[in-house]
Amino acid sequence: MNDNLKGKHFITLQDWTKEEIDTLLETSFDLKKKFASGIETEYLKNQTIFLMFFEQSTRTRNSMEAGITQLGGHAHFLDTSTMQITHGEIAKDTASILSRYGHAIACRNCFWEIGNNYLNDLAKWSTVPIISMQCDLYHPLQAIADLMTIKEKIGVLEKKKISIIWAYATSHKKPISVPLSQVLLFTRFGMDVTLAYPEGYKLPDWVMDNARENAEKSGGSVSITHDQDEAYQDAYVVIPKNWGNWVTNPDKDVVDELLESNKNWKCTEEKMALARKDVIYMHALPADRGNEVEDSVIDGHHSVVYDEAENRLHTAKAVMTLTMQGK
């Protein structure tokens, strides 16, 4: 394993070099092959990771718990509503103590303008790796699994049109961390990334500035459109998913006038027909079925959402294997 990554925080892939991300992908594919072959991978035997959740989780919690078990270690699930955090304990104290008890701390905190700051506070005081399980700005575990899935399904990444498309949903006001992480990561791999959304759902300006720099270095491109059809047209990969208008309106209300005026932003078979015949449909899940996407699409032959979700296990294992590796 790559000892250079031992102890490295995994809060954003922006802090990882292209070569380090390549190593992460290679490790993910190796672990997936060994999992399928029934080969034991107890690289982290008797190691402990603490999983701190400020909110709900299905794929992230279970991929991390199953992953560390398959690596020979153990996870402690921590519902932060039952921790002393609720009584005001600061990140310094939490990180300082938990990092003495185990080998890594993972945290999900998606509260707007709070989450990423909290993870970085943990990192400042922790003596073990901090792994982001999603914050208000980044979701690196999802982004790396998405990249792995795209590489699996279409092979060569350079100059392939990948469309990240806003979609209507009412389940909750979702973070911007998934599309933000995808835009920043995919542009580092030479893809032609299209970001499509209605007016009012922009990502931060600094994100697009960084994405353009990434694209220029990698030979890819990045563009913004407010036209759904343009995003679907000739795409190799489409990722229609809702995100909240946090940048333009930090209010926590889920449904507002802007959201309701964009009900037509929905992934349908008609929209999918505009893309390439071999287009793949992706979604981080859970999908707001009937709003974000028609059942016939997410359950159809273009959909790879379950493969994408499975890859969360293998990439999570790779992150832990490379960053933990003992104390």
Find the mean pLDDT for residues 75-100. 97
What are the residue ranges of CATH 3.40.50.1370 in the chain?
3-139+311-323, 142-308
Find the mean pLDDT for residues 233-255. 96
What pLDDT is stored for residue 195 in this prediction? 98
Find the mean pLDDT for residues 57-75. 97
**Percent of the chain beyond pLDDT 90?**
98
CATH superfamily, with its number, for domain 142-308: Aspartate/ornithine carbamoyltransferase (3.40.50.1370)
DSSP secondary structure string for all residues of 124-186: HH-SS-EEEEEESS--HHHHHHHHHHHHHHH---TT-EEEEEE----S----SHHHHHHHHHH
Find the mean pLDDT for residues 263-282. 98
Please, are residues 13 and 145 in contact by the beta-carbon 8 Å criterion?
no
- 4 falls in which pLDDT band (50, 70, 90)? confident
What pLDDT is stored for residue 103 in this prediction? 97
27 pLDDT higher than 90: yes
Q: What tens digit of pLDDT does each residue of 245-259 get? A: 999 999 999 999 999
Q: What tens digit of pLDDT does each residue of 169-195 get? A: 999 999 999 999 999 999 999 999 999
CATH superfamily, with its number, for domain 3-139+311-323: Aspartate/ornithine carbamoyltransferase (3.40.50.1370)
Q: Which residues contact 184 (CB under 8 A, 6 or more apart)?
A: 13, 14, 143, 207, 210, 211, 214
SS3 content of the chain, % helix, strand, coil (to 5): 45, 15, 40
Structure tokens at 13: 């892939």
Cα→Cα distances 321→57, 62, 164, Å: 22, 17, 30
Q: Of 68, 65, 64, 54, which is closest to residue 108 (Cα–Cα)?
A: 54
Residue 267 is classified by DSSP as B
1 pLDDT higher than 70: no
Please, how many CA atoms are within 13 Å of residue 245, restricted to the half-sphere of its CB?
Answer: 20
- 166 falls in which pLDDT band (50, 70, 90)? very high
Reduce the secondary structure of 14-83 to three states and give it as a string. HHCCHHHHHHHHHHHHHHHHHHHHCCCCCCCCCCEEEEEECCCCCHHHHHHHHHHHHCCCEEEEEEHHHC
What pLDDT is stored for residue 325 in this prediction? 76
Find the mean pLDDT for residues 99-118. 98
Find the mean pLDDT for residues 51-75. 97
- The type of residue at 47 is Q
SS3 215: helix
